[in-house]
Amino acid sequence: MDIEQIVREVVEQIRKKKNVPQEIILDVPLLEEGLVYSREKVVGVKEPTDSATIAEAQKITPARIGIGRAGTRMRTKSYLDFQLDHAAAQDAVKKEVSEQFLEKLAIPILKTKAQSLSEYLMNLDSGRVLCDESVHWLQQHSEKGKQVQIIISDGLSTTGIEENVPNLLSALEQGLKMKNISMEKPIFIKRSRVWVQDHVASIVNCDLVISLIGERPGLATSKSVSAYLIYKPTKDSVEADRTVISNIHKGGVQPLEAGAYLSDMIADILIKKVSGVKYTQTKE
């Protein structure tokens, strides 16, 4: 169900509630009406014993709690909220990062072997390797032997990338500069997955790669980003070799705060020369 259909369902609910004739609603353009659908949380439980506690719990979590029910089904508002979140999650996966955003980011744009969104979603390996043209570009234009290479990947949430990367990248770069850690210019890789960092590292010969990648969207948020860090990746690297910080968005770890934290972590990993599970064990 798309947004337009959802809006029309909301209008239909309003018409029924106010007993407005159908022909009147159809004659009024939606945009000129300035219809605004409220996402304010409400306690939907009928005659709750402790409404205040439910309302307080709703403030501290995006989980769908205390929404009540109508017979065996969701209430209409809960159903519309669910459909809006579902539509936003699908948009985050299916749409591409806008050209305007990439122009403002002003960094090199590379591609993987995934030729289409369908191939990217169905063939995981296609998003883990650069295409031949991007390999050639990186070989010709990158400075080799830096300490850190930053990769930005659209992943499964282009919305998350557009929402968080400007502040996150700025804070991360500033933190690394203050620590005198050398880094190659960040690159954006379209339709890429986390493991593409292994391929990139084999070309630029850096000590550490950090990938800022759009997270798989859920129904709580579709705008989240994760950061994956790996020290000296090779063709034999596995998931346990990577350190991940997830849930970076305005409702989770704030992008500016995450950038500062990641720069501290990178400095520590470069000193200890390990990442992933082995890095965690150095703190025990």
Establish if 136 belongs to a structural domain.
yes
Confidence of residue 28 (pLDDT cuts 50, 70, 90): very low
Question: Is there a domain that residue 135 lies in?
Answer: yes
Cα separation, 136 vs 108, whole angstroms: 13
Check residue 16 and give its pLDDT: 73
d(CA 47, CA 94): 41
**What's the pLDDT score for residue 273?**
96
In angstroms, rounded to a whole number, what is the distance separating the alpha carbons of residues 230 and 235? 12
Mean pLDDT in the chain? 88
Q: Which domain holds residue 213?
A: 99-282
In the predicted structure, residue 29 carries a pLDDT above the cut 60: no
Residue 108's pLDDT is 95
**Does residue 260 carry a pLDDT above 70?**
yes
Task: Decide: 229 and 243 in contact? Cβ < 8 Å.
Answer: yes
Does residue 31 belong to any structural domain of this protein? no
With beta carbons less than 8 A apart as the criterion, state whether 267 and 181 touch: yes
pLDDT at 168: 96
pLDDT exceeds 80 at position 80: yes
Average pLDDT of the segment spanning 91-97: 88
Q: Is the pLDDT of residue 150 over 50?
A: yes
Annotated binding site: 194, 215
Give a yes or no: residue 50 inside a domain: no
Would you list which residues are annotated within the binding site for adenosylcob(III)alamin?
Answer: 194, 215
For residue 2, what pLDDT is reported?
60
**pLDDT, tens digit (0-9, with 9 covering 90-100), for 1-10:** 566 676 677 7
pLDDT given at position 128: 95
Q: What is the pLDDT of residues 195-233, one digit of tens each?
A: 999 999 999 999 999 999 999 887 777 789 999 999 999
Q: Are residues 152 and 212 in contact, defined by beta-carbon separation less than 8 angstroms? A: yes
Judged against a pLDDT cut of 70, whether residue 270 lies above it is answered with: yes
- pLDDT of res. 35: 65
- Could you tell me if residue 39 is inside a domain? no
The answer as to whether 267 is a domain residue is yes
**Mean pLDDT score, 72-80:** 89
Helix, strand, or coil here: 84? helix
pLDDT for residue 245 is more than 50: yes
- If you search the block for the tokens 């205390």, which residue do you land on? 66
CATH of the domain at 164: 3.40.50.11240
Domains of the chain: total = 1
In terms of pLDDT, which residue wins out, 1 or 78? 78
Domain for residue 171, yes or no?
A: yes
Within a 10 A sphere around the Cβ of 268, how many other Cβ atoms?
12
pLDDT tens-digit readout, 100-143: 999 999 999 999 999 999 999 999 999 999 999 999 999 999 99
Q: What is the DSSP letter of 249?
A: S
- The answer to whether residue 160 is domain-embedded is yes
